[in-house]
Structure 1
Amino acid sequence: MSETEHYVFLLVEGFSHLAFSCAVEPLRIANLVSGKPLYHWSYISENGDTATSSNDSVTLVHGGLEPLNKVDILFVLSGLNVWEHITPGLLSFIRRERAHGIKIGALCSGAFVLAKAGLLDGVPTALHWEYHDSFMEEFPEVSLCRNVFVSDAKYITASGGTATADLMLHLIEKNHGSDLAVAVADQMVYNAVREATAEQRVSLQSRHGIRNPNLVRAIQIMADSIEDPVSPSVIADEVGISTRQLERLFGRYLNCSPAKYFLDMRLHKAQNLLLQTEQSVTEISLSCGFKTQAHFARVFRAQFGNTPLMHRTKII
């Protein structure tokens, strides 16, 4: 590794500007605080001129998909609708650089690009929680985890947003010591740095103040059986309580019935798949436990105010 590390950020159209800033600013501040050029960074995009983020900010880049030289790591950074911007040229570039020994990582939804390139099978991978449903449907061989970032696998990944800052601070600490990482975090007024093993979303217990293990177990059973839903009575049997007790738990802690909570869980997964995949409405309805498309359309419209197809095509 050279004295100055060179990070290249491949900005895919629609990339997350928040993750972008959280990736670059810690490097800039590390140089400032240390008084040394510890890091150099550059941006590339497929067109070689600009890249537009999800908030419509346009970033000038330093080049296109030419062969890289003297690069310590290439980070693929994407965001909304990443699957619409994964092109053969993009995949060829990543595969070529990997074959040439370039270390590669992914930020935010960038794991989609690496997975599409065939790099992530069996690799522990961090990805923004909002994309988990669609990612697992398309890439079941990838070892997806809820960590904010993964730094000790073959490919470094971060789930996006401020998790990108956590990753960069971790890399700064690893290469230049904890004192510098703490100083950079202080300059960022960032006093809640997370370890890689931290989960992206707070636990069910934290979200709802739940300390009842029976309710937590019941909800886990629901999450594990979305494709083939089980009845409240079956859930109660597995938990080891009566159906009436299960009803009381959901009413007390979540202000709804077990059936309503389970239906909402299935519908929100369907919503994610509609917006994040190209699966047909029929495929999505089956993967979310609805036996007929008509039933799926009816309950979906009652929940979200429009049909599944309308929901997919509307402008978000």
Structure 2
Amino acid sequence: MPDFADPPAAGARPAPPRPRLQIGFVLLPRFTLSAFANFMDVLRLAADDGDGSRPIHCRWAVLSPDMAPIQSSCGVRIEPDERLGDPARFDYIVVVGGLIESGGGLPPGLAPFLQRAAAQRIGIAGLCTGVFALARLGLMDGYRCCVSWFHHQDFLAEFERMRPVSDQIFVVDRDRLSCSGGVSAAHLAAFLVDRHLGRAAARKSLSIMMIDEPMAGDRPQPGLPLELNARDPLVRRALLAMQQNLHAPLPIARIARDLGVGRRKLERHFNADLGIPPADASVRIRLAQARMLLARSDRTVTRIAEETGFCDASHLIRVFRETEGTTPDLWRQDRAQSSPDHQPDEGAVA
């Protein structure tokens, strides 16, 4: 005989539908607040009409083994919502990392929780340096993972057999997801919202956050100039070392030694891959940064020279003139005048 449920009482409200996307957050000690907030806000804005923030279409919770407040790298503390419990109540577990040097192991109970989630084939994501914690547990073995260019060398130093992806903003490899941090966390969240709620919901979230449009995971990370798009792994690692030391450029011999090769071998790889020696690549990277600062800030040429590793303003001006055919100040003026937002003075004659 069929088992019929009792009809709802008169006037009773039907149970709300199950959210289509449920996320459990694990915040590591000294986590990066921006990565967490960017990911969270995409969910929040997709979960409700407008920016009402009701967890209707999405649900989220900050998880903890002991319910103690978790301090971010900037000092802000977050109160957990729930204990770890069964990871199966979520579609994804998102691990948010932060300062590498602050890590002395995972809080008690967290490793078994993440390993259980992996065994249950629940999606696991690492934001910022959260992927380091997953790799330490062996949860990234056999998976591609995204690491910020800034932490590329740190990752290689700890995980010699792994080859992190540092030229994309995020990577999705089956049930493992990872992103480089910062605004890329918003794009990874938008990817999941698109997958579970639809593209309109993802675009709506990003639009309210003043982000133009969703970016695909293979969008290059900001940092290395596009003209130095190296294929050789050794060259890529050397370029990343240069990028990480813009203000105080490392000698080429030091970079080669840190990479475990001789200077001549490094030079051969650069010439074969990019057609230029490492010293020229270093100058190009620093000039690209100088152009960016000239275009997007009002810093003086002297300060830009200091921040990009040139001896002084005269050195930057000389190198800039050799490559651009003009001085930094004139380049900035010409760019400002050619900008679509530039308006002529009211007294100017048309």
Short-chain TM bin: 0.5 to 0.7
CA distance 1:63–1:247, change in 2 (3 Å): closer
Distance 1:251 1:69 in 2: 48
SS of equivalent residue, structure 2 residue 114: helix
Query: Which of 25, 28, 50 is matched with 1:12 structurally?
Result: 28
Paired letter, 1:193 = P
- Report the counterpart of residue 92 of structure 1 in structure 2: 112
Deviation at 1:217, TM superposition (A): 11
Query: Which of 173, 177, 182 is matched with 2:203 structurally?
Result: 182
Query: Which of 50, 53, 61 is matched with 1:42 structurally?
Result: 61
Query: Which of 126, 134, 151 is matched with 1:131 structurally?
Result: 151
Deviation at 1:26, TM superposition (A): 0.7
CA distance 1:252–1:110, change in 2 (3 Å): closer
- Report the counterpart of residue 197 of structure 1 in structure 2: 218
Percent of paired sites with the same residue = 22
CA distance 1:99–1:237, change in 2 (3 Å): closer
- 1:214-243 Cα deviation digits (max 9, x unpaired): xx99965955952113239x7269727xxx
Distance 2:18 2:147 in 1: 29
- 1:62-110 Cα deviation digits (max 9, x unpaired): 1333333421111111111353242453222211232234322111111
Q: Does 1:231 align with 2:264?
A: yes
Query: Which of 51, 73, 79 is matched with 2:92 structurally?
Result: 73
Paired letter, 1:78 = G
| Structure 1 gap ranges (5+) | 257-316
CA distance 1:171–1:255, change in 2 (3 Å): closer
Q: Does 1:28 align with 2:48?
A: no
Paired letter, 2:95 = V
Distance 1:127 1:218 in 2: 17
- Report the counterpart of residue 175 of structure 2 in structure 1: 154
Q: 2:20–2:196: 8 Å Cα contact kept in structure 1?
A: no
- Report the counterpart of residue 295 of structure 1 in structure 2: none
Q: 2:169–2:218: 8 Å Cα contact kept in structure 1?
A: yes
CA distance 1:3–1:64, change in 2 (3 Å): closer
CA distance 1:164–1:178, change in 2 (3 Å): same
- Report the counterpart of residue 165 of structure 1 in structure 2: 186
Distance 2:234 2:124 in 1: 40
| Structure 2 gap ranges (5+) | 1-16, 240-254, 288-350
Deviation at 1:192, TM superposition (A): 5.0
Paired letter, 1:10 = V
Q: Does 1:112 align with 2:143?
A: no
**Number of aligned residue pairs:** 246
The structure with the largest alpha-carbon Rg is 2
- 1:107-163 Cα deviation digits (max 9, x unpaired): 111111111111111211012222221211222333410221112433111111111
Query: Which of 89, 98, 102 is matched with 2:122 structurally?
Result: 102
Q: 1:14–1:80: 8 Å Cα contact kept in structure 2?
A: yes
Distance 2:88 2:233 in 1: 51
Paired letter, 2:49 = V
Paired letter, 2:141 = D
CA distance 1:254–1:15, change in 2 (3 Å): closer
- Of 148-157 and 61-70, deviating more is 61-70
The structure in which a higher percent of residues are helix is 1
CA distance 1:63–1:178, change in 2 (3 Å): closer
- Report the counterpart of residue 333 of structure 2 in structure 1: none
| Pairwise CA RMSD | 3.6
TM-score by length of 2: 0.60
